[in-house]
Chain A
Amino acid sequence: MKLKGAGAAFLRELKLAWSGGGGAALPLGFFAAACSLTPLTLGPESDLLKAAGPGVIWIALALSSLLPMERLFQADLEDGTLDAYAGSGVALEGIAAAKTAAHWVATGLPLALVSPVLWIMLQGPVAAAPMVALISAIGSAAFFFFGAIGAALAAGVRRGGLLIALVALPLYSPAMIFGAAAMYAAAAGGDWGPALMLTAAAALFGVALSPFAAALALRAAID
């Protein structure tokens, strides 16, 4: 399996995401807006927000991570870049991993940086904010890599975004459960280590599984 060249794909993807029209910042706006809607429905009482905040942030983070998925492979399939990748001799598994990782760096990490701000706005303890960024970074990696499986499956489908959501959301369950548990442990000032490690395990399982499933699906989409 030839992986040389996957690094170039990673850099290309980062440049595209951060250049104008890349849309890497859009999920950040969605994330912030979705969390800001919470007090409008639950009410602004700080006790209620304290109780609901960590879970709400976690759901919003998962949904925001789904947003870049529709175009993750579709754009490259439409303009023939994926054919060029396939013909270049570089393993498609490497390409899929590089693209997903680049989008996680371009969108997932910024989401993790916004997360503590929303945490404080939803009355979470300020002392836990750095932990929240760490938990969100690891959780978003799980969401991006599991989402990439759905993205590759739906690459050839017009308006495949909803299909990706239906396919990927059940796969999110472990990261949802353990990530939210870590968030609540951080909110209570308790031991967030075990839950964070389980979240990381879910993320690593996604990182290990996703490139192979995605490459299989992309090969089917190309021919």
Chain B
Amino acid sequence: MAVLSLFANPHRFMAISKPFAWGFTMLGGGMILYGVYMGLFVAPADVRQGDAARIMFVHVPSMWLSMFAFAFMAGASFVSLIWRHALADVAAKSAAPIGAVFTALGLITGSIWGYPIWGTWWEWDARITSVLILFFIYLGYLAVWQAMETPQKAARAAAILCLVGAANLPIIHFSVDWWNTLHQPATFFTEDNNAPYGFKVPMYIVALGYLSLFGGLTLINMRAEIMMTRAEMMMQRKLAAG
């Protein structure tokens, strides 16, 4: 818990987070560019799908990130509900739009990949559908933040929704799996990961780049959020002083 309380103080957070925010963002951008270059020009073409498969270097890591971001938000929501940690709410709120964008990016790139390979822009397949539902859960989460009168109430409600969504996601995932399946099963993160080396390297570089970009952008969002709260407090103090 020592690490948690180290960052509980917004002042200390503001003092040390700036270089990390911009550092992670730029590092992430660089890694993505390098990884995408490797994926497009260095990696071999897929035996069956040819050059069309190269889109996987942006598609697959963004799907990982869409789930990672939600797990991060659920963790932050848990910390916020249990310990009333001052920065946990801000972290969950800041990560949400980025996670939603990665989810949308995954759906869009998947659709672009699906057209030449499956012959359709959209297929009601199990994994596509469960990602779409994840996207709707992201939208609901963002809507809760928008709808509440006070940030304190919004924070509690959003945290509860995030945890309920996290508890339901595996169930939704399996129920959709039983309902219909066309998408290829997972290749990475399985025991017999047999993806060729030339595919693995750019894939992991882009994935780490996404992760770094996610961290950097979340920190930037958190800093903006805290500055906004401070600006509001200054305004109120000024109004009170007349």
Contacts and interface: CB of A to CB of B under 8 A. Distances in A.
Given A149-B164, A220-B153, A221-B153, A177 B178 contact: yes
B171 interface: yes
Given A157-B147, A174-B171, A213 B136 contact: no
B80 to A, nearest CB: 11
Given A170-B136, A217-B156, A209 B167 contact: yes
A166 B136 contact: yes
Given A157-B148, A163-B144, A221-B153, A170 B164 contact: no
Nearest to A174: B175
A171 B153 contact: no
Contacts of A178: 175
B144 A167 contact: yes
Interface in A209-223: 209, 213, 216-217, 220-221
B139 interface: yes
Interface string B157-184: 1001101110110011001101100000
B42 interface: no
Contacts of B157: 153-154, 217, 220-221
A205 interface: yes
A154 B172 contact: no
Interface residues of A, number: 26
Contacts of B44: none
A145 to B, nearest CB: 12
Contacts of A181: 179
Contact of B136 (A153, A169, A202): A169
Contacts, number: 75
Contact of B160 (A177, A198, A202, A213): A213
Interface string B128-158: 0000010011011001100111000100110
Nearest to B157: A153
B81 interface: yes
Contact of A177 (B137, B167, B179): B179
Interface string A163-207: 100110111011001100100000000000000001000100100
Contacts of A221: 153, 157
26 contacts: A149-B161, A149-B164, A153-B160, A154-B157, A156-B149, A157-B148, A167-B143, A167-B161, A169-B136, A170-B165, A170-B168, A173-B176, A174-B175, A177-B175, A177-B179, A198-B175, A205-B171, A209-B167, A213-B163, A213-B164, A216-B81, A220-B153, A220-B156, A220-B160, A221-B153, A221-B157
Given A163-B143, A170-B165, A221-B157, 17 more contacts: A153-B144, A163-B144, A166-B139, A167-B140, A170-B137, A171-B165, A173-B172, A173-B176, A174-B171, A174-B172, A177-B175, A177-B179, A202-B175, A213-B164, A216-B156, A217-B157, A220-B160
Interface of B: 81, 133, 136-137, 139-140, 143-144, 147-149, 153, 156-157, 160-161, 163-165, 167-168, 171-172, 175-176, 178-179
